[in-house]
Chain A
């Protein structure tokens, strides 16, 4: 495996691990979500290395969608903080419907 390949694969898998195994704070989950943006580097290298110009749009799409999801996540965080007082994950079970 080439070093760039290893670099962004490792970044992605580590961030995903952090997202899956969060325990206390919602904010840490959101931060790990941003860490999974190494996917952006992966897509750009893929298109550039293999000279497939039609795939060059995909990193831009990923950027746009990540902006949306980051803002959505922040809005959810703010709403949770407003209603529950903190972003601790244990308090999110209280209003289970």
Chain B
């Protein structure tokens, strides 16, 4: 009877200790053997995964959740900050998922970054990131969540700029940090509001004491934080730019784990959002806009990693839509299933890139089905899961969200945009497959030297493929839905997502056939340019705004202050006014003093004589 909380708590704290242990061993100056990444880091993540299955099974069996408050870190008279972990449904399910995905990615990384001299450091960074993410997910108070939040932000910066000799990588890392910082302002604002008005950062107290308050301000702060971290529209350019980092980084951070931190924050805070229709509407419209905008941008990208990055962004928009529908559990479900197939898509692209000797442009790829069949198969599985093929992983979450959206009495515009984005998902996924896997090789580089013999490539991808197929079914069968889904709806509404996806596939096939014909004499630039240049958002925000600000600053400093106030209204004004007066007066006077004085004399004499006589 008392065993369950003990087992639960112990297992979860052991998971954290297992993950931290390899990091602590790096503090000693003892030289590590070349096997350290595989033997230590990957093994620790594997063991941590299996250890975290125990709480998962306990949760599935008994529904046991636990909150561990271990240490009061700081306290003032009125305000306490504790270290407390919350292992509820969300973190108990997310932790094994994250560990499973990370295990596969680490195994893949040992092959991918094999020739890198600093591979040990790379693994250390990945492990640090994982620990920060687990801290974020299991945080019971906003301070601990903020620690994890900043931790994942910093590790993202360090990992994106892994090849820091490349200028593009540095600018991408700066973009990531700056956009995340803008989002952090929202989080800090929300934390400050809660510290002032609710007197605590512990989530239980926040939920209890905020019953009757007007929560618009902190919720908008949290939405801004999610916009920054989860790359919603407005703060989104960092995510495609983050593809400058190595593929394992993209797979771990920018598809499965870090970018969902913003959505996870909103899921954690969903009891606050339920009663605030303004916040829900903002989430809904922002998510819909994000998903359709990024899907549009993905249609014409030529870099394989950018296509997958935009697909991630689009799915994040879909998660935001789910939150805007007041369905946090569906958003969480999509987080978990999305982690599997998106990480697999990234690993497959990494494998193809390496096999083609670092070729990332899909126009130069083709015929990958001959070269790496396993990878191509899993690419196909991942794309099918992404588009929501029935009964693969993505179907359970995506279809549930779209059904909930269709049956709600909310914004019809958001619904239409989300359906359009679903269609675009099918289009760009099929485009990816056609360009990469079908056809014949278009690369001039020598491709016949590599083969998929190394199990470090195929095993992770196959594991994630199993996850992409089964995860949706497993998770939905085992959790208790918090809100009742809509059970009856018209046939067309029920199959809306499926129909739209099929339409997208047919459209993509038709468009793909058109590439062999030349129907217009010149290229039609405007629409393609809008999509290819990411809607002109980066050129406007990154170039035009700073140029305007800087030129305004220069105008104020040099022209307004120096030239106008200190010169023209000061000395030069005095000079110019006086000079004009002096010139006029000098021109009027001829200087005939004697004549003037003589006349004066005559007048005085005459006047005196006339008066006196």
What are the interface flags for A1-31 relative to B under an 8 Å C-beta threshold, 1 for contact and 0 otherwise? 1000110010011001101110000000000
Determine which of B594, B608, B612, B613 lies in contact with A20 in the assembled complex, contact meaning CB atoms within 8 Å. B594
B600 adjacent to chain A (CB < 8 Å):
yes
B605 within 8 A of A: yes
B118 lies within 8 A of chain A by Cβ:
no
Asked whether, in the complex, the Cβ of A13 is within 8 Å of the Cβ of B604, the reply is yes
For A21, the chain B residues whose CB sits under 8 A away are: 598
Give, as a whole number of angstroms, the nearest-CB distance from A12 to chain B: 8
Main SS at interface, chain A: helix
Which 6 pairs show the lowest CB-CB distances between chains A and B?
A1-B612, A20-B597, A9-B608, A16-B601, A20-B601, A20-B598
Q: Is the CB of A13 within 8 A of B601?
A: yes
Query: Which residues of A are found within 8 Å of B598, using beta-carbon distances?
Result: 20-21
* B window 573-610: CB within 8 A of A: 594, 597-598, 600-601, 604-605, 608
Question: Which chain A residues lie closer than 8 Å to B612 at the CB level?
Answer: 1, 5-6, 9
Interface membership of chain B positions 235-270, coded 1 if the CB is closer than 8 angstroms to chain A and 0 otherwise: 000000000000000000000000000000000000
How far is it, in angstroms, between the C-alpha of A17 and the C-alpha of B604 when the chains are bound?
11
Chain A residues with CB under 8 Å of B600's CB are 16, 20
Cross-interface CB contact of A1 among B597, B601, B605, B613, cutoff 8 Å: B613
Which residues in A have their C-beta under 8 angstroms from that of B594?
A: 20
How many Å lie between the Cα of A5 and that of B613 in the bound state? 12
- Closest chain-A Cβ to B597's Cβ sits at a distance in Å of 4
* 23 pairs, CB–CB < 8 Å, chain A vs chain B: A1-B612, A1-B613, A5-B612, A6-B612, A9-B608, A9-B612, A12-B604, A13-B601, A13-B604, A13-B605, A13-B608, A16-B597, A16-B600, A16-B601, A16-B604, A17-B601, A19-B597, A20-B594, A20-B597, A20-B598, A20-B600, A20-B601, A21-B598
- Chain B, residues 116-151, CB within 8 Å of chain A (1/0): the string is 000000000000000000000000000000000000
Interface size on A, residues (CB 8 A): 11
Q: How far is the CA of A72 from the CA of B600 in the complex (A)?
A: 22
Nearest chain A CB to B104 CB, angstrom units? 96
Task: Give the shortest distance, in Å, between A80 (CB) and chain B (any CB).
Answer: 15
* Chain B residues with a Cβ closer than 8 Å to the other chain, count: 10
Bound form: Cα–Cα A11–B601 in Å: 13
Task: Tell me the bound Cα distance from A1 to B610 in angstroms.
Answer: 11
Beyond A13-B605, A17-B601, 12 additional pairs, beta carbon < 8 A: A1-B612, A1-B613, A5-B612, A9-B612, A12-B604, A13-B608, A16-B597, A16-B600, A16-B604, A20-B594, A20-B601, A21-B598
Residue of A nearest to B602 (CB): A20
Residue on B nearest A5 in the bound complex, by CB: B612
A12 to B598, CA, bound (A): 14
Q: How far is the CA of A19 from the CA of B605 in the complex (A)?
A: 14
In the assembled complex, the Cα of A96 lies from the Cα of B287 at a distance in Å of: 85
Instruction: Give chain B residues whose Cβ lies under 8 Å from the Cβ of A9.
Output: 608, 612
**Bound CA–CA A20/B605 (angstroms):** 13
Chain A nearest CB from B37 CB (Å) reads 92
In angstroms, Cα B600 to Cα A17, docked, is 10
Give per-residue flags for A55-93: 1 if the beta carbon is below 8 A from chain B beta carbons, else 0.
Answer: 000000000000000000000000000000000000000
Residues of B within 8 A of A20 (CB): 594, 597-598, 600-601
Give A5 Cβ to nearest chain B Cβ, in Å.
7
Residue in chain A with minimal CB distance to B599: A20
Residues from chain B with Cβ under 8 Å of A12 in the complex: 604
Question: Could you tell me the distance between the alpha carbons of A12 and B608 in the complex, rounded to whole angstroms?
Answer: 10
CA distance A19 to B604 in the complex (A): 14
What distance in Å separates the Cβ of B158 from its nearest Cβ neighbour in chain A? 77
Provide the residues of chain A in CB contact with B613, threshold 8 Å.
1
Minimum CB–CB distance for A86 against chain B, Å:
20
**CA distance in complex: A20, B594 (Å):** 6
Expressed in whole angstroms, the minimum distance between the Cβ of B608 and any Cβ of chain A is: 5
Distance to closest chain B CB from A32 (angstroms): 11
Whole-angstrom CA separation of A1 from B608 in the bound complex: 10
Chain B's nearest CB lies how many Å from the CB of A78?
A: 21
* Mask of A22-55 contacts with B, CB within 8 angstroms, 1/0: 0000000000000000000000000000000000
- Residues of A contacting B608 with CB < 8 Å? 9, 13
CB distance from B609 to the nearest CB of A (A): 9
Contacts of A6 in B (CB 8 A): 612
> How close is B600's CB to chain A, nearest CB, in angstroms?
7
In the assembled complex, which residues on chain B have CB atoms less than 8 Å from the CB atom of A13? 601, 604-605, 608
| Distance between Cα atoms of A22 and B152 in the complex (Å) | 100
Give A12 to B594 CA distance when docked, in angstroms: 18
Q: Give min CB distance, B6 to chain A, whole Å.
A: 107
Q: A1–B604 Cα gap in the complex (Å)?
A: 16
- Give Cα A28 to B597, complex, Å: 15
Digit string of B341-384 for contact with A (CB within 8 Å is 1, else 0)?
A: 00000000000000000000000000000000000000000000
A19 to B601, CA, bound (A): 9
C-alpha gap A1/B611 in the complex (Å): 9
CA distance A89 to B608 in the complex (A): 30
Bound Cα distance from A5 to B611, whole angstroms: 11
Write out the residue numbers on chain B whose beta carbons fall within 8 Å of the beta carbon of A5.
612
CA distance A20 to B598 in the complex (A): 6
Which single residue of chain B is at the shortest CB-CB distance from A10?
B608
Q: Which residues of B lie under 8 Å from residue A1 when comparing CB positions?
A: 612-613
User: CB-nearest residue of chain A relative to B612?
Assistant: A1
Within the complex, what minimum Cβ distance (angstroms) separates B604 from chain A?
A: 6
Q: Which of A5, A6, A12, A16 has the most CB of B within 10 A?
A: A16
